[in-house]
Structure 1
Amino acid sequence: MATESSNASYDRAKPFLAVILMQFGYAGMSIVSKHALNEGMSQHVLVVYRHAVATLAIAPFAFIFDRKVRPKMTLSIFFKIILLGLLEPTIDQNLYYTGMKYTTATFTAAMCNVLPAFAFLMAWGLRLEKVNIRKMHSQAKIIGTVVTVGGAMLMTLVKGTRLDLPWTKGYDQLASTSALTNHQDPIKGALMITIGCVCWACFIILQAITLKSYPVELSLTAWICFMGTIEGSILAVVMERGNLSAWSIGLDSKLLAAVYSGVICSGLAYYVQGLIMKRKGPVFVTAFNPLSMVIIAMLGSFFLKEILYLGRVIGAVVIVSGLYLVLWGKSKDEPLSNSSNDEVAGSATQIDTKMQERTESLNQEFVAIDLSRVRPTDESD
């Protein structure tokens, strides 16, 4: 019994562990990518290389493991995959990296915390998320969504005083030089990141819908990365026309950014995201983004010497507060659905057991009747 209980606890904890590890992966990607962009790498080329690497990494596993269970590709599924490749790998990531160039890794991660709000609104509109205005937990989800968006606006428009942390002292000149070199523009960057988050939320919702008709996570991930490579290449050729040097890459931070983000944040993340959505839904997948922001803020100030400002910290706190209102409301939905599922499963098991017992007793009665009929006949003979 103890072993069964521990296994059940671990099974319930697996989605939480997986999504937390995803956030650590995203945090590392933000730091590595920001460093590569600071070194002059084109964000459009980075998107192409990222998904080319992801395709090469995930396609062999999809071919081997999904060979016997992969459903037939239909025109409807193929169009959904094309749209998936356009939404997140192409539009969102180009806007995300461009927004990061105009701001900092910490600012970008904090702005991405509006993603759960957008995902919630879309899931609500498509009836993938249950909302009852009369219930407190549903009201919390709605209020939390509004607070999250308000925190993002606060963080964008209010800078506040600079926070002098011990490990960033002496880097004022470096920060100002970096801002001039990369033409930092927080408002323009925030606008791009916000539009990218809308595309990302659409991608997550569409991925959840596509998995219902094409329930092979590895193959779907490989297709998304492949389409993202093709569509991203078309965009990169247009944006970097005549600039062949933008495509050059060596054994440096540019290659590290492409390989890391491709394997961890496209290949593995899309696959794990699909698995989690099957159990917990699309809103749950996006709900842990603030963890990534905290990790990036710490790593960014240490390794990239990014300066933190009071207004942006307050905005980030407001975003997290709103987000966890959404999470609290979401958690109140879970026990009801889980208990109802358990009750249905338990009643089904009891019915099945009773039917088997009844069938066995009927069989025994029929055998007894047949024997009673056969014996008198034998004696008369």
Structure 2
Amino acid sequence: MAEMNCYREVLPFAAMVTMECVNVGLNTLFKAATSAGMSYHVFVAYAYAVAALVLLPAPFVSRSSRVLPPMNFSIISKIALLGIIGSSSQIMGYTGISYSSPALASAISNLIPAFTFIFAIIFRMESVALGRTSSQAKLLGTILSISGAFIVTLYKGPPLIISSNSSITLHQHLHSTKNSNWILGGIFLTAEYILVPLWYILQTQIMKEYPAELTVVFFYNLSVSIIGAIVALITEGTSSAWVVRPNIALVSILCSGFLGSCLNNTVHTWALHLKGPVFVAMFKPLSIAIAVAMGIMFLGETLYLGSVIGATIISIGFYTVMWGKAKEEVGDDGDTASPESPEGPSVTRLQGCKVTRSTGLGRSRKALICT
């Protein structure tokens, strides 16, 4: 029992916290690599190809270790669609980071729960009843998250912290930031985090049909690397952009391939299968503080007032959505139970379910009936 509790509760929590740290570190490393001239289109193709190469034995291992349904056309087509969504979101995200910063990416990433909620309503995975507290909380949190994203994107504000590791003066820094397009970066990042909830929803559906995390992630990485290579050939041609020298670019590709495309996607797929998309989304606000600290320490970036205000509003909206979701799961106003009936078996009512208790032959029996 203790081992099962550790597997279902402690291990997913520790894994998701670790992955948020890894993601921010990889974004910071990517920003440093693109600042040195690396093409992010080529980066996507190489990083996912590395991950696919690492996971190459996965289909054989998964098939030999468990009984799995056949890999039919329906599953393959859904994985291909997952690859299109994933490659598009990665290209959008890396483009946004190249125009802005990892800190902005982490702040806007908190839009994921809001967009997940919107898409869940569209796909009829969530219902909204305006008279219920949980629905009101989720709607309010969604509005707050989107409002915060607009503030982060459109309002930069005065600088609050300038890294002491940066060798440039305040005047030079303010002049150099004009060369970057903060608003355009925010638009690309927002587009990425519109696609990520679609990735979550489709990935969860695929895992229900084919519950083999490593195999699904292998085919996903393979499809993204192929799509990324096609896009890179269109945008970069056969230029020298494909040549990766043994510098920060190579380190970034290898780390993103092993830790990002391979490990991160595998852990997220496992967590989605085990705990669901809401649990995975809960850890996004953690990335804000990590990204700001890494950006200041390693990239010499500046912390702006607009980022602090917007990220705070987004986080409040995020946790409002999470609170509404949690309240919905236990039942609005805490009325999860009804008084026991004096006649016959006692009944405790849950949302759409009832737990019946009966006694007979000296034993107490329980049954959960859901409608």
CA contact (8 A) 1:168 1:306 kept: no
CA contact (8 A) 2:358 2:364 kept: no
> Where in structure 2 are there 5+ consecutive unaligned residues?
337-347, 366-371
Change (3 A) 1:228 1:7: closer
Q: 2:139 aligns with which of 123, 137, 142?
A: 142
Q: Residue 17 of structure 1 corresponds to which residue in structure 2?
A: 14
> Where in structure 1 are there 5+ consecutive unaligned residues?
357-381
* Counterpart-to-counterpart distance in 2, 1:225 and 1:318: 34
CA contact (8 A) 2:112 2:194 kept: yes
| Deviation at residue 213 of structure 1 after TM alignment | 1.2
Question: What secondary structure, in the 3-state scheme, does the structure 1 residue paired with 2:67 have?
Answer: coil
Q: Residue 92 of structure 2 corresponds to which residue in structure 1?
A: 95
CA contact (8 A) 1:137 1:330 kept: yes
CA contact (8 A) 2:58 2:218 kept: no
Cα RMSD for the two superposed structures: 3.0
Change (3 A) 1:220 1:174: farther
Name the amino acid aligned to 1:50: A
Q: Residue 339 of structure 2 corresponds to which residue in structure 1?
A: none
| Deviation at residue 70 of structure 1 after TM alignment | 3.2
Matched, 1:241 2:242: no
Change (3 A) 1:104 1:346: same
Aligned residues: 346
Change (3 A) 1:101 1:7: same
Q: Residue 208 of structure 1 corresponds to which residue in structure 2?
A: 204
* Counterpart-to-counterpart distance in 1, 2:183 and 2:45: 26
Q: Residue 326 of structure 2 corresponds to which residue in structure 1?
A: 331
Identity of aligned residues (%): 34
Q: TM-score with structure 2 length normalisation?
A: 0.84
Change (3 A) 1:212 1:6: closer
| Deviation at residue 11 of structure 1 after TM alignment | 3.4
CA contact (8 A) 1:53 1:259 kept: yes
Q: Residue 157 of structure 1 corresponds to which residue in structure 2?
A: 154
User: Which 10-residue stretch deviates more, 223-232 or 274-283?
Assistant: 274-283
* Counterpart-to-counterpart distance in 2, 1:72 and 1:300: 46
Provide Cα deviations, 1:55-98, integer angstroms capped at 9, x if missing partner.
1122223421333433211211111111101111x111111111
**Where do residues 369-380 of structure 1 align in structure 2 (5 Å cutoff)?**
none
Question: What secondary structure, in the 3-state scheme, does the structure 1 residue paired with 2:71 have?
Answer: coil
**Where do residues 291-302 of structure 1 align in structure 2 (5 Å cutoff)?**
291-302=286-297
Change (3 A) 1:59 1:149: same
Matched, 1:34 2:31: yes
Question: What secondary structure, in the 3-state scheme, does the structure 2 residue paired with 1:167 have?
Answer: coil
Q: Residue 344 of structure 2 corresponds to which residue in structure 1?
A: none
* Counterpart-to-counterpart distance in 1, 2:68 and 2:288: 37
Question: What secondary structure, in the 3-state scheme, does the structure 1 residue paired with 2:164 have?
Answer: helix
Provide Cα deviations, 1:172-200, integer angstroms capped at 9, x if missing partner.
367457647xx411111111111121122
| Deviation at residue 116 of structure 1 after TM alignment | 1.8
Q: Residue 213 of structure 2 corresponds to which residue in structure 1?
A: 217
Name the amino acid aligned to 2:81: L
CA contact (8 A) 1:113 1:319 kept: yes
CA contact (8 A) 1:175 1:305 kept: no
* Counterpart-to-counterpart distance in 2, 1:108 and 1:122: 21
* Counterpart-to-counterpart distance in 2, 1:39 and 1:115: 30
Q: 2:311 aligns with which of 286, 310, 316?
A: 316
| Deviation at residue 131 of structure 1 after TM alignment | 4.2
* Counterpart-to-counterpart distance in 1, 2:131 and 2:354: 29
Matched, 1:187 2:200: no
Change (3 A) 1:349 1:248: farther
* Counterpart-to-counterpart distance in 2, 1:58 and 1:334: 36
Q: Residue 43 of structure 2 corresponds to which residue in structure 1?
A: 46
Question: What secondary structure, in the 3-state scheme, does the structure 2 residue paired with 1:72 have?
Answer: coil
Change (3 A) 1:86 1:329: same
Name the amino acid aligned to 1:72: P
Matched, 1:272 2:267: yes
Q: TM-score with structure 1 length normalisation?
A: 0.82
Asked which structure has the greater CA Rg, the reply is 1
Provide Cα deviations, 1:250-275, integer angstroms capped at 9, x if missing partner.
32211111111122222122222222
Question: What secondary structure, in the 3-state scheme, does the structure 2 residue paired with 1:308 have?
Answer: strand
Matched, 1:227 2:194: no
Q: Residue 340 of structure 2 corresponds to which residue in structure 1?
A: none
| Deviation at residue 170 of structure 1 after TM alignment | 4.9
Which of the two has greater helix per residue? 1
